[in-house]
Chain A
Amino acid sequence: MKSQKIIVIIVIVGLLAVGTGIGVHYYFSKSKSPLITYVADAYVGEANYLLNGYQNSTGNPVSPAIGGGSYTDAQKIGSGDPANVFISVALSPYSSHYLKDRYSGWAIAFASDQLVLAYYNNTTDYKIAMMLRQAEIDNNTSEFVSALFSITNKSNSLGISDPSTDPAGLRAWISLEIAGELYGHNESYFVNAVRQHHANVTRSSAAQLVPALETGEISFLFIYKSAAVHSGLKMIELPAKMNFGDTDLSSFYSEFNYTTVAGLQKGSPVLLYITALANNTLATDSMEFVNYTLNHRSELSTFELKPLQHPELFNDTTPPVEILSLISSHELVYSGRID
């Protein structure tokens, strides 16, 4: 009986010691609050790369990037989740509608990506993917339509993330509209095929569909190229008019739209944006990290991202002085409004 009591006391003291030790270690090693960054979950790897570089160069503590669909991230930040920096793959999540009192009124596009079609590595899906690629190379419209129709009419086989929470899903649906317009002479041709055959499987972000593709639960997945490469997925690149990777085609992409729960959303190039949020507990660190990101954007090419030669500023309000100085030195160009 006495030995049992001793064992219980030892276990309790041991647990308390471990817990206290961990707490004390973190309290003293990170006396300064770490920088909290929310990021579109396709780009968590890139964000962590930048954060680690920033931490090494400045000594300021950082938390690992928190990933999620861009719209979900924005909702969380607007609802009060602690955050300092927000990296999104669409511009509309930076609006006051989502960010509320964290709305900074500006965002900078610093790299571009493109939408690709990743496929499950089995014979049937590989053949369809190759057929689509060859038809695109040969400019063979009927073959392209045939291959894309095979993809869109197979039940529960095409991964498209939720367009209301993830811009990749939004762009996937618009890409199907563009394909319908270009190859089927009817914008709804492939969208209707997907719906009629219940082809699409969804999750709140494309990253969450990657395991389903890897295990063969789905055959195809619309995902950004950098995320596909990072996950080691087999993929085919889509024609430039369907992949949202060419900033020169911005006006063409914007001719197409899709309605989400937030309303009508226009097509836009896949650009990675960054902002330091308003009412920021780490305002200086956040701006330093934004500057660090802009200065080190060329390193993102290792992630298959295309760093923009001149980062683009989108703003509704006057940006901080650090940003204004980049404008005056022509390192940054004005590109329009957020809202």
Chain B
Amino acid sequence: MTSTKKPDGLTIFSIVVTILIIIPIAFILVYGFAVYHSSIGFSSIVFKSIALTIFSSSIAAFIVFLLFTPLAYHISRLSSSAMETISDISASIPHPIVGIAFLLIVSPLTPFGRFLISIGLGLFDSIPGLVTALAFVSAPVYIRAAQSVFSQNPSEPEILAMGLGLSRIKTLYRVVVPNSARLLLSATLTSMSRAISEFGSIAIIAYVILQFPFAGVMPASVLIYQFFGYYGLGPAVTASAVMILISIIVLLISRFIKGIGNNRSGV
């Protein structure tokens, strides 16, 4: 016997607003692949640029995972509104400001900038600069997602571990992280998706990379903006469609990883 449940008003409204989100993406995909189909949009420059974006975003996401997992755990267990607010700052300021801030920090005008230059670590138009900016802007996305993961976890295993004498940091890495590895990976991939989409800060600090193996390569968002200036809509839309496809794949992997456990647990 099959039961056909009629969608209620809320479901219909949700479908409508979901379609609103899809519309611009669908336009880019249809126009990029079917209408314009510009050869420049499929050129090696675009694929090198996407490779740089994926490379730098994945490193940024990994760094964010390493640095901010303890903070997300701390906030989830011992609520700290000050830390929560601070961790949200980079998400709530216009991102060109982030680029300007890093430009200032690493410049010879500041002692820290002079120190970095003295050890040969220039961030301007470099891979480290690109990764730093991406990590900064994507950190809040990860912290929020990881915080949510930790909050949903039962605290009994942690209490037991600490009762056996483990410190909070050891409990985090020996008990909590292994139990939440799948969902934390999904959160990391979500923050990687955020890094892939970044433009404002990297257009200032890492507009074009000057180092091997990406010398002369622009991050994808910058390249697409440049294509718009160079060639107009066609190549920019086609390159955008290619980039969107990659971003959707990353998001689908993230959802898939998240979904495995849900299916197993019957959720």
Contact = CB atoms under 8 A, between A and B. Distances in A.
A211 interface: yes
A211 B103 contact: yes
B109 A215 contact: yes
Interface residues of B, number: 24
Given A215-B104, A216-B107, A216-B108, A203 B233 contact: no
Contacts of B226: 162, 164-165, 204
Nearest to B123: A217
Nearest to B225: A204
A122 to B, nearest CB: 8
A266 interface: no
Given A203-B207, A211-B204, A217-B103, A164 B230 contact: yes
Contacts of A250: none
B30 interface: no
Given A156-B210, A217-B107, A204 B229 contact: yes
Contact of A216 (B109, B215, B230): B109
A75 B125 CA distance: 26
Best-buried of B106, B122, B204, B230 by chain A (most CB within 10 Å): B230
A308 B220 CA distance: 42
Residue among A72, A198, A204, A217 with the most chain B CB within 10 A? A217
Given A72-B229, A75-B229, A156-B125, A211 B108 contact: no
Contacts of A211: 100, 103, 204
B33 interface: no
A215 B103 contact: yes
Interface string B61-100: 0000000000000000000000000000000000000001
A162 B231 CA distance: 14
Contacts of B111: none
A62 B240 CA distance: 33
A215 B230 contact: no
Most buried by B among A201, A202, A215, A216: A215
Interface in B194-219: 204, 207-208, 210, 215
B109 A79 contact: no
A198 B210 contact: yes
A71 B229 contact: yes
A212 interface: yes
A261 B229 CA distance: 10
A69 interface: yes
Given A215-B108, A215-B109, A79 B103 contact: no
B157 interface: no
B142 interface: no
Interface in A50-102: 68-69, 71-72, 75-76, 78-79, 98
Contacts of B233: 79
A282 B77 CA distance: 60
Given A156-B125, A198-B210, A212-B124, A165 B103 contact: no
Interface string A258-301: 00011000000000000000000000000000000000000000
B232 interface: yes
Contacts of B204: 208, 211
A79 B210 CA distance: 31
Interface string A154-168: 001000001011000
Interface of A: 68-69, 71-72, 75-76, 78-79, 98, 122, 156, 162, 164-165, 198, 201-204, 208, 211-212, 215-217, 261-262
22 contacts: A71-B230, A75-B228, A75-B229, A75-B232, A76-B228, A78-B232, A79-B228, A79-B232, A156-B122, A164-B229, A198-B215, A201-B125, A201-B210, A202-B207, A212-B124, A215-B108, A215-B113, A216-B109, A217-B108, A217-B122, A217-B124, A262-B230
Closest 4 CB pairs of A and B: A215-B107, A72-B229, A216-B108, A165-B229
